[in-house]
Amino acid sequence: MKRSINWMSLLAALVLVAAACGGTSDADQASTTTAPTTTAAPADDDMSDDDMSDEEMSDDDMSGEEMRGHTISFETAGWPEFAGGAHYEGWLIIDSTPVSTGRFNVVDGAIVDLDGAAVDHFSVEADTSAATAVVITIEPANDSDPAPSDTHILAGDLVDGAANLTISHAAALGTDFAAASGEFVLATPTDGDHTNDEFSGVWFLTFPGPTPGLVLPELPDGWIYEGWTVIDGTPVTTGTFLAVDRSDDAAPYSGTVRTPNFPGEDFLQNAPEGMTFPTNLSGATVVISIEPLTEDNPLPFALKPLVGPVPADAELEPVSYPLSNADFTALTGTATIG
């Protein structure tokens, strides 16, 4: 019968024989004493980057291509400039949650930070691969609220890392105002005398009637309509409003008689500096603007859906004059994730 060999015992015996025959050389000894003793790492730590799954890789381990999508840049066309501290802020919509891309302003069509320095792009501390849309808001001066304001001016869906930004997107104003229309009459109903100074008031109604003179879409939160009469080159407000069949919110220049249930204004008293009321509005321009509630500016905002002239030969009898629909296609932009 053959006997099995105990290989472990044989190996141990050979080691003892080698030691008895003179041991290691000086070089071998030095190598043995300087080599550090280490504990074997767990199997996972032995894995190379190539062996790791996408979920196990950190941002620091990811290649430039895999890091793609952590910056965003904007191109603007027709974006109004702000003064007095109001500014824009970009937002990525990620899992239905807005994530800020940074605050900025626009000067001569160029993106600048709130200190006026040019900005090429913004860094985003989020997984931009999950973003579905981009929204641009108007934020008030000294804004300390980390959430977006209600005043959304532009928005667009992200497709292949880019978005075309428009006011008509559902996350912005939701319309291009192409269906807006309007009429106005010249009259001064708040002086109680329908024979004097009738060329010194503008009311957004139709005659005969009266019926509402404006056809305007309902505005989303953060916005309000405002009427204006441009007198000798200076815009003078007729008041802000949301409903076309009710009085607007102020009557700073009107008389003492109750105002009609329509937006409008009589320019009879309390004239701004440099003007004289009553006045003759023949040759003036009448405007309906859309105003952001986050900006405090005495001048009309850039969004003016309706504009119309007062004829130089305006008639004394009440006549409805038309307002023309303005073109908003110049106010656009793009957002690109880089």
* Among 25-34, 128-137, 282-291, the least confident range: 25-34
Token digits for 232? 């000798």
User: For the chain, what is the radius of gyration of the CA atoms?
Assistant: 36
Residue 26, pLDDT > 50, answer no
Residue 31, pLDDT > 80, answer no
Judge contact between 245 and 212, C-beta under 8 A: yes
Judge contact between 304 and 51, C-beta under 8 A: no
For residue 214, name the pLDDT band (cuts at 50, 70, 90).
Answer: very high
Residues 298 and 266 in one domain: yes
Q: How many domains does the chain have?
A: 2
Q: What is the pLDDT of residues 38-86, one digit of tens each?
A: 333 334 444 344 443 444 434 444 433 444 458 999 999 999 999 899 9
Residues 163 and 268 in one domain: no
Residues 195 and 310 in one domain: yes
For residue 205, name the pLDDT band (cuts at 50, 70, 90).
Answer: very high
Q: Taking residues 158-182, what's their average pLDDT?
A: 96
Residues 284 and 152 in one domain: no
Residues 113 and 244 in one domain: no
* Among 242-256, 273-287, 316-330, the least confident range: 316-330
Residues 131 and 210 in one domain: no
AA identity, residue 247: S
CA 290 to chain centroid, in Å, comes to 16
Taking the C-alpha atoms of residue 265 and residue 297, their distance in angstroms, rounded to an integer, is 19
Residues in the chain: 338
- Domain annotation covers residue 206: yes
Judge contact between 331 and 78, C-beta under 8 A: yes
AA identity, residue 134: V
Residue 186, pLDDT > 60, answer yes
Q: What is the pLDDT of residues 95-122, one digit of tens each?
A: 999 999 999 999 999 999 999 999 999 9
* pTM across the whole model: 0.79
What was the pLDDT predicted at 329?
72
Residues 186 and 320 in one domain: yes
Residue 198, pLDDT > 90, answer yes
- Domain annotation covers residue 30: no
- Domain annotation covers residue 63: no
From residue 206, alpha-carbon distances to 182, 218, 221, 245, 302 in Å are 9, 20, 28, 11, 26
3-state SS track over 143-211: CCCCCCCCCEEEEEECECCEEEEECCCCCCCCCCCCCCEEEEEECCHHHCCCCCCHHHEEECEECCCCE
- Domain annotation covers residue 250: yes
Domain that holds residue 83: 71-174+333-337
Residues 168 and 282 in one domain: no
Residues 200 and 166 in one domain: no
Q: Taking residues 294-303, what's their average pLDDT?
A: 93
Judge contact between 191 and 268, C-beta under 8 A: yes
Residue 184, pLDDT > 60, answer yes
Residues 190 and 295 in one domain: yes
Residues 270 and 226 in one domain: yes
Average pLDDT of every residue of the chain:
83
